[in-house]
Amino acid sequence: MQYFVVMIDYGRRGREAIVDPEITRREVISRVASGEYRNISFIHEIADCTVEDITAEILGEASLPGIAATGADLQASHFDHLRDLRKHERA
């Protein structure tokens, strides 16, 4: 059996693992390319009791080379910066 785990990071709101045994590699690539999957922490392929991190491969095949696995960190930094700005405005 082969399936994919796509971990989405929502920053402070938490994470979500999308696991669907019916989804194919092609469908994962399609969802990444369409923007349905954003802020991806990692994508793992599970096959025959082995786990392989295929995040870079999928992002490359989806033609999104500018999106790094640290995109969630950048988003969290942006939210932290906005929070700090609001904090200083109140003072």
| Side-chain-facing half-sphere of 46: CA atoms under 13 Å | 13
Residue that the structure tokens 């590699």 belong to:
25
pLDDT given for residue 66 in this prediction: 53
Provide the residue-wise pLDDT of the chain in tens; the chain has 91 residues: 899 999 999 888 999 999 989 999 999 999 999 889 989 999 999 998 899 999 989 988 887 555 554 555 566 666 777 777 777 776 5
Alpha helices (H) in the chain, listed in sequence order: 25-34, 55-61, 71-90
pLDDT given for residue 16 in this prediction: 94
pLDDT given for residue 76 in this prediction: 67
pTM: 0.66
pLDDT given for residue 43 in this prediction: 94
pLDDT given for residue 60 in this prediction: 87
Rounded Cα gap, residues 76 and 91, in angstroms: 23
Q: Is 36 helix (H, G, I), strand (E, B) or coil?
A: coil
**Residue 62 host element (H or E):** none
74-81 contacts, C-beta under 8 A, 24 or more apart: 75/9, 75/11, 75/39, 76/11, 76/12, 79/11, 79/12
